[in-house]
Structure 1
Amino acid sequence: MLFDTHVHLNVHQFDEDRKEVITRAKEAGVTHMVVVGFDHETIPKAIELAEENEHMYAAIGWHPVDAIDLTEKELAWIEELAEHPKVVAIGEMGLDYHWDKSPKDIQKEVFRKQIALAKRVKLPIIIHNREATEDIIRILEEENAHEVGGIMHCYNDSVTYVEKCLAMNFYISLGGPVTFKNATLPKEVAKIVPADKLLIETDCPFLAPHPNRGKRNEPAYVSLVAEKIAELRNVSYDELCQQTTENAKRLFQING
């Protein structure tokens, strides 16, 4: 029983073999997935996949790299789609200071607007953070994001910020980097996150875990993430899978 809380099966990298990828995930023990839509093209596809697959759900939001492209019309569109019964979160949203397509002030504005939207529709949020931790935490605090909580997606920051995230009602989700030989931060985080606040993900097709690093990632590989975290926490694989699945279902309010 594995719950991959962040997949992008809605992107073109899976156009040739999407059904086969989903089958391999099931064979690997992946029972639930959340497909994350992040722009005008991938949002409808996320919902479509959730409708077609029983234990697949959708998260919808606007990626910070493309914040400059978000209009009020599209924001209203996201809010309308959020009423769909298989939409379980708003996001991914946040800040990305690595790329310079969208100015920081616009990213921050769009981030705040999406937090407000999530509070209106009463859904948790999924946070994308790249080189912007201080600003993200400040905005989450200022916007009272604790009211909906959510996920710090693919957490790759120091243990210093974990307590602040937990205090704001956020879960910590770890992906492929926790398996990388030279990645010390996610390994440290994996050891200290409270059991009831830990989630796992692939972020496929990106960040494939060892030994598939550099290849296209897919949901089946979340088992490799789970194996590594179980080893780091000195718990059984089955216990880690059960705990993280229970956590995800609790956050997303999923029964079954």
Structure 2
Amino acid sequence: MLVDSHCHLDHLDLADYQNSLSQLLDAARQCGVGQFLSVGVDLATSARLIEMAQSCRDIVVSVGVHPLQRALPPLPTVAELLGLGRRPGVVAIGETGLDNYYGREQADWQEQSFIHHLQAAAQLGKPVIVHTRDAREQTLALLRAHADTEVGGVIHCFTENWQMARAAMDLNFLIS
């Protein structure tokens, strides 16, 4: 069985499938995909994904606020992330992290949001999906300070170097 370990089922162009997510999922299943991890990019989307997962047994979700939201949403609180993260079908927290390539003007917001995600994931004992770009040392410092390295997670959108990959793997994070 294949697993799509990072998709955004709520952001797909379904035109080739008569605008039907069910038809798209059926086509993927016919190709051997048996599990889908649909990743949240904001709190509203995360809540919708939870509902989707409850109606389809082969969909699980993560909840979080992506660091490159077009318009800065209010800072997600640890309590909000915990509330969503405790819901059935939620297996991870994120996508969260730091992006200094496209998001330098949002650096403070990104850092605080990332910390909140790491704290919520640690309290829930769930892995974290981390988006990082041009933020090697800062990402590693925040993971060391706030991540549950017993649980770890995955570094997604990895564009860094081998030294960072090795350091992240030493903290129990996979590289994607």
TM-score above 0.5, yes or no: yes
| Greater share of helix | 1
Contact 1:62 1:70 in 2 (8 A): no
The Cα of 1:51 is off from its aligned counterpart by 1.2
1:98 aligns with 2:120: no
1:109 maps to a residue whose letter is: Q
Partner Cα distance (2:90, 2:43) in 1: 16
- Counterpart of 1:69 (choices 52, 56, 73) is 73
When residues 102 and 89 of structure 1 are mapped into structure 2, their CA distance, relative to the original with a 3 A threshold, is: farther
The correspondence of residues 132-147 of structure 1 with structure 2, limited to 5 A, is: 132-147=135-150
Equivalent position of 2:4 in the other structure: 4
Partner Cα distance (1:87, 1:68) in 2: 24
Cα RMSD, aligned residues only: 2.1
| Greater relative CO (CA pairs within 8 A, separation 6+) | 1
When residues 144 and 71 of structure 1 are mapped into structure 2, their CA distance, relative to the original with a 3 A threshold, is: closer
1:84 aligns with 2:55: no
When residues 14 and 102 of structure 1 are mapped into structure 2, their CA distance, relative to the original with a 3 A threshold, is: farther
Equivalent position of 1:251 in the other structure: none
TM norm structure 1: 0.61
Contact 1:60 1:78 in 2 (8 A): yes
Partner Cα distance (2:62, 2:32) in 1: 22
TM norm structure 2: 0.87
When residues 169 and 131 of structure 1 are mapped into structure 2, their CA distance, relative to the original with a 3 A threshold, is: same
Q: Deviations over 1:99-158 (max 9, x none)?
A: 248521221111111101111111110001122222111211122441430011143332
Matched pairs, number: 172
% identical aligned pairs? 31
- Larger Rg, first or second structure (1 or 2): 1
Structure 2: runs of 5+ lacking an equivalent: none
Structure 1: runs of 5+ lacking an equivalent: 174-256
2:143 maps to a residue whose letter is: L
Equivalent position of 1:243 in the other structure: none
Q: Deviations over 1:152-187 (max 9, x none)?
A: 1143332232211111011122xxxxxxxxxxxxxx
1:167 maps to a residue whose letter is: D
Equivalent position of 1:25 in the other structure: 28
Q: Secondary structure at the match of 2:42?
A: coil
- Counterpart of 1:126 (choices 129, 134, 140) is 129
| Greater share of strand | 2
Q: Secondary structure at the match of 1:58?
A: strand
The correspondence of residues 1-256 of structure 1 with structure 2, limited to 5 A, is: 1-11=1-11, 13-14=13-14, 16-66=19-69, 68-71=72-75, 75-100=78-103, 103-173=106-176
